[in-house]
Structure 1
Amino acid sequence: MKHVEQSEQIMSSDQKKKRILIAGDVMLDRYWFGEVNRISPEAPVPIVRVERREERLGGAANVALNAVALGVGAGLMGVIGDDEAGNTINGLLDKFGITSYLSRDTQISTIIKLRVIGRQQQLIRIDFEERPTEQILKDKLNRFNALLSASDVVIFSDYAKGSLVNVTTMIEAARNAGKLVLVDPKGSDFARYAGATLLTPNKSELKQVIGEWYSEEELTVKAQKLRQDLRLEALLLTRSEEGMTLYTENDIVNVPAMAREVFDVSGAGDTVIATMAVMMANGMRMQDAVVIANRAGGIVVGKLGTATVSHEELFPVEAALT
């Protein structure tokens, strides 16, 4: 009942005052669904007859979507092209009530991930991407500093597409402003995220930084050393079928994975960090928030493609009582 009681606090009238600022790599996820009935005579590949198309918010935009799905206000910073895909993203942001602080870069095209799905299986993913220009990134940094005061929590969603080259400066500014800072990292250089409140790598991302581990004891030593070296309050390791582990100065919290079929892991990390941010913005301890974030991640991997989790799915007992 503990988490149900805390969720009631999250959905209180004060909750609407909480705002989360998300900065990162914004992209459009496109899905083409169709039937596969034969193999191409031109090459040994399936022919997909496209019957339905969907467009969804991806990358940092999916983080923002997950946040608003849990009831908070969200603003999104990033870079898009001055093109049809960029217009589509802005339209989706408006539809879901996400405040757009996106910068238009006329020199690039909006990042698109196109997935072709046949018989509920992803057959291929085609990526279209270009890195933002330097001037746009300078303007984005100025806008970020101007928006900090109105935000309770800041999330950096790094997909290594070039929008967060100034992330070290941005983290410092957010921490100096007294904000909670959560980072979904990418790459082998985590030093750029030093000083954040919480870092949320998955297993493969963490291994790029600390190397392999061969026991829980070795993992704990390496993870805690990384947390201390980067001056993090906590490090949350997402471990797929092994659940999650939260490392803080005073304790280690292991949360087992939910027993449910994994359908699609796309965007699961977005759901986890957004849920952590919403819970922490409303005063929940990290040790309790990670249990709920783990539940949210377990729900979203049972859905196709980038998806969100509703409050009713996250707290079914509470929903049944209302």
Structure 2
Amino acid sequence: MNVDQLAKARVLVVGDVMLDRYWFSAVERISPEAPVPVALVQREEDRMGGAANVALNAAALGAQTTLLSVVGSDDAGRRLAHLVTDSPIRSAMRQVVGMQTTMKLRVVSRQQQLIRMDFESKPDHEVLLDLMDRYAQELDLHDVVLLSDYGKGGLTHVTRMLELARLRGMPVLVDPKGRDYSRYRGATLITPNRAEFTLAAGDWSGEAELRQRADALRASLDLQAVLVTRAEDGMSLFTAGEPLHVKAEAKEVFDVSGAGDTVIATLAVMLGAGSSLADAVRVANRAAGIVVGKLGTASVTPAELWPQT
């Protein structure tokens, strides 16, 4: 796979976006008011999170990437919209008055999180209907649909989204959330991590039972494939054929946040560029091994995936 092929991929990312805000601080004493550290904030940094980070990962690989979502017209929403505009992502985001943008505020000291504070609200019904109209318009402009579900309400109409994509014969990749995966029926591929898979399909012990549960889930939901990301145990792809297991490639695990975003974004770009699913999984595994060596939500470039020798 080369950069020119990746640039031909047209990926539509839909889902829950959020602002990842970091306060980098120094801690040198305990508060006299309570037994808690006093964090002296020295630097602030804002990054795209959630579906926005997924889109950034796809764009970083060179794909033509569109992000469809909603944010509030608050400070966090304006900041997130500005970050998207300044990136290679084509924005199809709508700012909504009265909605609170999802934001995760992390206080970090010496590369360790001290605390995370979350702010969020869900979009209302009318906003979501408008989102569906725009989704239908965008489908014909893309090759692959990627649905990034963080359980914040942006994919309330995911069943209809899947139907519209299937009518066009488009592959749909889903990063799932929650216990009930029936709403993702008919997707091409879902990418739960180990904990998410266990929540939806039940606990398992041993590779044989893992395959049994994955095959049962795939058959019951009419999925072409299930990819279980397994942290230090790599990834397992389950299709109608033999399972594909790939070993983790991380040399040093620094921060696993956002690794799932990198995996599904890489898969979407590779499939959009004409790759086989098996090859796409191998590349996505390599991308995950790179991104966990970075702090916070991050992305991977083609040069990192295919360094010149």
Cα shift readout 1:197-223 (whole Å, capped 9, x = no counterpart): 110000111111111101111111110
What stretches of structure 1 move > 2 A for 4+ residues in a row? 14-18
Does 2:133 correspond to 1:171?
no
Report deviation, 1:189: 0.8
Report deviation, 1:302: 0.6
**Contact 1:23 1:156 (8 Å CA) reproduced:** yes
Per the normalisation by structure 1, the TM-score is: 0.94
Q: Equivalents in 2 of 1:298, 1:123: separation in Å?
A: 25
1:236-255 equivalences under 5 Å are 236-255=227-246
Report deviation, 1:107: 2.2
Per the normalisation by structure 2, the TM-score is: 0.98
Q: Equivalents in 2 of 1:285, 1:155: separation in Å?
A: 17
2:68 to 65, 69, 77: 77
Paired residue secondary structure (2:86): helix
Unaligned runs of 5+ in 1: 1-6
Does 2:132 correspond to 1:141?
yes
1:171-320 equivalences under 5 Å are 171-316=162-307, 319-320=308-309
Q: Equivalents in 2 of 1:282, 1:250: separation in Å?
A: 23
> Given residue 75 of structure 2, which amino acid in structure 1 is its aligned partner?
E
Name the counterpart of 1:64. 55
1:23-172 equivalences under 5 Å are 23-172=14-163
**Contact 1:105 1:133 (8 Å CA) reproduced:** no
> Given residue 66 of structure 1, which amino acid in structure 2 is its aligned partner?
N
Report deviation, 1:259: 4.2
Report deviation, 1:268: 0.3
Kindly tell me: are residues 257 and 16 of structure 1, through their superposed partners in 2, closer, same or farther at Cα, counting changes over 3 Å?
closer
Report deviation, 1:15: 4.1
Report deviation, 1:42: 1.2
Kindly tell me: are residues 259 and 150 of structure 1, through their superposed partners in 2, closer, same or farther at Cα, counting changes over 3 Å?
closer
Paired residue secondary structure (1:150): coil
Q: Equivalents in 1 of 2:182, 2:259: separation in Å?
A: 24
Kindly tell me: are residues 15 and 215 of structure 1, through their superposed partners in 2, closer, same or farther at Cα, counting changes over 3 Å?
closer
Cα shift readout 1:27-75 (whole Å, capped 9, x = no counterpart): 0000000111011111111111000110000000000000010001111
Report deviation, 1:195: 0.4
1:16 to 7, 10, 13: 7
Q: Equivalents in 2 of 1:294, 1:219: separation in Å?
A: 19
**Contact 1:29 1:55 (8 Å CA) reproduced:** yes
**Contact 1:299 1:309 (8 Å CA) reproduced:** yes
Structure (1 or 2) with the greater helix fraction: 1
**Contact 1:107 1:133 (8 Å CA) reproduced:** no
**Contact 2:174 2:191 (8 Å CA) reproduced:** yes
> Given residue 33 of structure 2, which amino acid in structure 1 is its aligned partner?
E
Q: Among all aligned residue pairs of Structure 1 and Structure 2, give the percentage whose two residues are the same amino acid.
A: 53
**Contact 2:6 2:270 (8 Å CA) reproduced:** no
Q: Equivalents in 2 of 1:51, 1:141: separation in Å?
A: 42
Q: Equivalents in 2 of 1:203, 1:138: separation in Å?
A: 33
